[in-house]
Structure 1
């Protein structure tokens, strides 16, 4: 995965858009010339850019292939360029740590906060995790409360979507 930018940029124009079915609902991916910008999971039958025609690109076709392999259980890591154009330095540090988690691994919000130099910042950590623009590819579903409980998920149908992803990776949760 490409390194996460160390500076905030204005959003670039989306040059490519691709949708694909998945076990957690339709997925919508966007990309620019540098890499994947976003991944959205269908919520209540809708995607953010449903009215926009698809304009696939080679990187989005590769992402679709790798996501299909992930859902089929034959891929455990993604090798895709990700271009994070939004987010604060703090959010990008959280996303970078999430990107380092392997398939089937989990981290608590508290440990994540400690890892990025912000111990005791549970609410801020939760906000940064929830703002991840490329869920699944950057595995924000791998963050749980210290007790192993799912406390929320901002993509798709929320907790049921997160539970599906955790179960798919064999991650125990409550």
Structure 2
């Protein structure tokens, strides 16, 4: 990741609350819910050690796609992600997460096996918990081996994860 300012802006008012997005010159780096602009920008400065400025055609396109998804009119995102902001293991986990089709789920263990790290389900869970782009990288599609929902850090947590899965037509036991 370079040193150019991050672009940030209000993504949209959604059923999940106010969403904020940020992008580097290489793609999206962060999505957050239910925080104010100052809080979001302070987090960006702390995490990425870069100045922040308001702008962005990419942010406008991303907001449009997120709103379409939340309205049930979009199943996939066509947006660049700046994978360079992630460590190699997290990048592998989240790239594998992006392959989970709309309306389907995988367990943490299945994802661990998919990246060649069978037995690393807990580490996969930790990587998912640090997902900087929930929704766009669909960590809500990852569930426990018991079929139950475990952890979700966006908006109202597990209630939001359940809502997103229901939006996609997934029945949770």
Where structure 1 has 5 or more consecutive residues not aligned to the other structure, the ranges are 1-8
Structure 2 partner of 1:24: 16
- In structure 1, what is the Cα distance between the partners aligned to 2:109 and 2:4? 33
Instruction: Report how far residue 12 of structure 1 moved.
Output: 5.9
Report the Cα offset of residue 11 of structure 1. 7.5
User: How far 1:10 moved relative to its partner?
Assistant: 7.0
- Mark the CA change 1:88 to 1:33 in structure 2 (over 3 Å): closer, same or farther: closer
Q: Which has the higher helix share?
A: 2
Aligned to 1:84: 83
- Measured after TM superposition, the shift of residue 71 of structure 1 is 1.0
Q: Secondary structure at the match of 1:28?
A: strand
Task: List structure 1 segments (4+ residues) > 4 angstroms apart after TM superposition.
Answer: 9-12, 50-54
Contact 2:11 2:59 in 1 (8 A): no
Instruction: Give the corresponding residue for 2:73.
Output: 74
Measured after TM superposition, the shift of residue 37 of structure 1 is 1.1
After TM superposition, give the deviation of residue 15 of structure 1 in Å.
2.5
Question: Which consecutive residues of structure 2, in runs of 5 or more, have no partner in the other structure?
Answer: 45-51
In structure 2, the CA distance between the partners of 1:12 and 1:108, relative to structure 1 (3 Å rule), is: farther
Q: Deviations over 1:13-65 (max 9, x none)?
A: 312323311111211100122211111122xx656427899723110000011
- 5 Å-filtered alignment, 1:1-174, equals 9=1, 13-42=5-34, 46=36, 48-49=39-40, 55-174=54-173
The answer on whether the counterparts of 2:148 and 2:172 sit within 8 Å (CA) in structure 1 is yes
Q: CA deviation at 1:147?
A: 2.0
Equivalent-residue separation in structure 2 for 1:33 and 1:84 (angstroms): 12
Q: 1:129 to 1:79 in 2, by over 3 A?
A: same
Cα deviation, 1:130-172, whole Å, max 9, x if unaligned, reads 1111110110000001221001112222111111111111112
- Is the 1:11–1:85 Cα contact (8 Å) retained in structure 2? no
Displacement after TM superposition at 1:75 (Å):
0.5
Q: Which of the two has greater strand per residue?
A: 2
Q: Which moved more, 1:130-139 or 1:50-59?
A: 50-59
